[in-house]
Amino acid sequence: MDFGLAKPVQAAFIASASAGTPTLSNWLTVEGTIVGTFQYMAPEQLEGKEADARSDIFAFGALLYEMGTGRAAFTAKSKASLIAAILSSQPPAVSTFEPMTPPALDWAIRTCLAKNPDERWQCFRDIVLELKWIATGGSQREHWVTRPHQYRVLAAFAATTVIAIAAVLYLLWMSMQPRSRDTTRFVMQLPAGHSLVVPDLDAPALDLSPDGRYLAYVAQRSGQQAIYLRPIDEFEAKPVPGTENGVAPFFSTDGDWLGFIADGKLKKVPLRGGPPLAICDVQNSGKASWGKNGFIVFRPAYGAGLSLVSANGGIPSVITKLDLSRSERAHGSPEFLPSGDAVLYTIWTGVTLERPQIAVLSLKNHQQKILVDFLCLFARLLQQPLPLHIGIIEFGISGRHFNPVDDQLVDIDQRRIGQILFCQRD
């Protein structure tokens, strides 16, 4: 049975700055396409409008009507007539076919089948509470309880109870089903005359806002370098005032501020308008990350460890130092984990930086743990080849890909981490 509830994916975007390729957005279905079993589809779906949870409630009401009467809520000889019936007519009351039906159940089903989504139940919890109340006998008619018809009252009450219990179990089962994440991919084409600027391996040229609505990128136009901001649902990108010569853009966790590095300073600028503010001094253009605790982690100079500074400014504090006995040459690509209590970063070791490692640092107890040693990992994989992708190398360069992963991953062994990192780059 198909309720026609599949929707085109929206909201999540994966940006790729590939010059020369037109901007595209992949949709599962085109606007106006009707997919599903017509008898259970809400009017807004048939009209090609946006469907939401209240469309599910309409389909559930049609199913509940059929369970109570033994016949479909809407019937017709053709699909066109069926669509017209759903859009303009109401099915007969359940009590028309089952006289012992409690009025509250009839009303509950009729509310589910309202044409206007705003007039339906707004969430399934309301329906569950209503059905539980009906099942306890909260809507019995006084004249039902007469001795000649007492057996009919009991039979109707039992049927109503069974329907209510089945509906509650169905809703609980639906709420426990895992929901797959929707993914939307698109390719961004830079405006004419723009060229992307990547000044350093550890300085990202672009960043996506936490809510996925804005893309910030570094570009040059007519010899002038600045950070540009582009809403994902628009084609035009505008330079952010005060970001001239800026690199390595990154957003605050609330999306209200844009951080960047320019003219030897770590800076921030309000996206709603206002001048840029200097936070502290830096000697290189490396990646930085803004945590939900109000602090920014960054690398103040090449060949140094990581530092932490308040987003409001102040004196940075050193949180990692190079271990020269392990031939560490630099720490970079810092990224706050979602909890804000730990930082993921890359350790570059060896004379030619040939042995990168991914480590995590707890800001609570300042303990460091190596998650991935790529040299050891590659050696293990050579002993037991696996059908994995080379995307793990990209992960080693930029900790950004780790951002949505839960902090518990730090307790997983190295081999499992390697498989996860490879597979997530499908």
Using an 8 Å Cβ cutoff, are 250 and 288 in contact?
yes
Residues 6+ apart with CB under 8 A from 298: 266, 282, 286, 287, 288, 289, 306, 307, 309, 316, 334
What pLDDT is attached to residue 199?
75
CB 254 within 8 A of CB 294: no
Cα 365 to Cα 319: distance, rounded to the nearest angstrom: 11
pLDDT > 90? residue 421: no
Give, in degrees to the nearest 5, the angle at Cα 308 between 324 and 277.
135
The pLDDT assigned to 151 comes to 58
Instruction: Assign 141 a pLDDT band (cuts: 50, 70, 90).
Output: very low
> 228 or 330: whose pLDDT is higher?
228
Domain boundaries, the chain: 13-176
- pLDDT tens for each residue of 172-181: 777 776 655 5
Per-residue pLDDT for 327 more than 80? yes
The average pLDDT across 202-213 equals 86
The 3-class secondary structure across the chain, one letter per residue, is CCCCCCCCCCCCEECCECCCCCCCCCCCCCCCCCCCCHHHCCHHHHCCCCCCHHHHHHHHHHHHHHHHHCCCCCCCCCHHHHHHHHHHCCCCCHHHHCCCCCHHHHHHHHHHCCCCHHHCCCCHHHHHHHHHHHHCCCCCCHHHCCHHHHHHHHHHHHHHHHHHHHHHHHHHHHHHCCCCCCCEECCECCCCCEEECCCECCECCEEECCCCCEEEEEEEECCEEEEEEEECCCCCCEECCCCCCCEEEEECCCCCEEEEEECCEEEEEECCCCCCEEEEECCCCCCEEECCCCEEEECCCCCCCCEEEECCCCCCEECCCCCHHHCEEEEEEEEECCCCCEEEEEEEECCCCCEEEEEEEECCCCCEEEEEEHHHHHHHHHHCCCCCCCCHHHHHHCHHHHCCCCHHHHHCCHHHHHHHHHHCCC
The model's pLDDT over 361-382, given as tens digits with 9 standing for 90+, comes to 999 888 888 887 765 554 554 4
Each residue's pLDDT tens digit, 4-35: 454 544 433 333 333 333 343 443 444 445 55
> Average per-residue pLDDT in the chain?
75
* Contact indicator for 199, 247 with CB cutoff of 8 Å: yes
pLDDT of 274 strictly over 80: yes
Given a cut of 70, whether residue 272 has pLDDT beyond it is yes
Contact 208, 229 (CB under 8 A): no
pLDDT at 313: 92
Question: CA-CA distance, 209 to 50, in Å (whole number)?
Answer: 25
Tell me if 60 sits within 8 A of 109, measured CB to CB: no
pLDDT, residue 183, reads 60
pLDDT of residue 149: 53
User: Residue 176 is which amino acid?
Assistant: M
Per-residue pLDDT at 81: 82
Task: Please compute the mean of the pLDDT values over residues 267-296 and round it to a whole number.
Answer: 91
Split at pLDDT 50, 70, 90, the class of 244 is very high
Q: pLDDT grade, residue 150 (50/70/90)?
A: low
Rounded average pLDDT over 78-93: 85
What's the CATH code, domain 13-176?
A: 1.10.510.10
Most confident of the following: 150-154, 333-337, 420-424: 333-337
Q: Are 318 and 343 in contact (CB under 8 A)?
A: no
Looking at the predicted structure, is the pLDDT value of residue 411 above 90? no
pLDDT, average across residues 411-426: 38
Residues in CB range of 404: below 8 A, 6 or more apart: 338
Q: What is the mean pLDDT of residues 108-128?
A: 87
- The amino acid present at 19, given as its one-letter code, is A
For range 242-254, the mean pLDDT: 93
Per-residue pLDDT for 398 more than 70? no
Q: What residue type is 219 in one-letter code?
A: A
Rg (CA), the chain: 30
Token pair belonging to 233: 């649902």
Q: Per mean pLDDT, which range of 167-171, 222-226, 332-336, 340-344 is the poorest?
A: 167-171
Q: Out of 89-103, 187-201, 375-389, pick the least confident.
A: 375-389
| Residue 281 predicted with pLDDT over 80 | yes
Whether pTM exceeds 0.75: no
pLDDT for residue 307: 94
> What pLDDT does 172 receive?
79
Does the pLDDT at position 77 exceed 60?
yes
List, for residues 329-353, the tens digit of each pLDDT value.
Answer: 889 889 999 888 899 998 888 776 6
